[in-house]
Structure 1
């Protein structure tokens, strides 16, 4: 597994995952991406953590220069490149965001709100 993450032009934070992992279209998979700009909350100095079904598959300790990105758009599963791109190649059934650095996703099957 390989993670490539960077801040590219116009302050866009991009994460690309290259996985040696596959699954059936009818099998539920939980993907979690945790980002902490200075590495103080994830543990081990990690600034980026990627988990599938609560198992860590990759991480990074690079400190990101993220000034001016607080008002940026969050885009998941979409290409900003010139067509042809096919948005039907990704299906997102349920998306949750948190304003805390959550690293334990053992509650991933519970549908409840968090304050």
Structure 2
């Protein structure tokens, strides 16, 4: 039960940026990037990758056999953003994303521990 809750929390954390795949207007609201900006396409693609992470987390919630791989992929996604954000001087425009990932470290830590114990 606790495993499923941790994976569901991780899926939820990634759901909003994943929704930008289907509602590109969210890209402007989440990241402050206008549709004509060259970065918009990259962020739209990023939303597709987040959709994959949501699917993977939901799959891990249901199927214990995928939890190790899912934990590594989810950890790389979350930790790499936090490291890059820190290295970029912690830009205020991306603070809410960093906070979401920081909060997500709790269920991620639990998921990692339970998958690899």
TM normalised by structure 2 equals: 0.22
TM-score, normalized by length of structure 1? Answer: 0.23
Tell which has more relative contact order, 1 or 2 (C-alpha 8 A, sep 6+).
2
- Compare the two structures and name the one with the higher helix fraction: 2
Name the one with the larger strand percent. Answer: 1
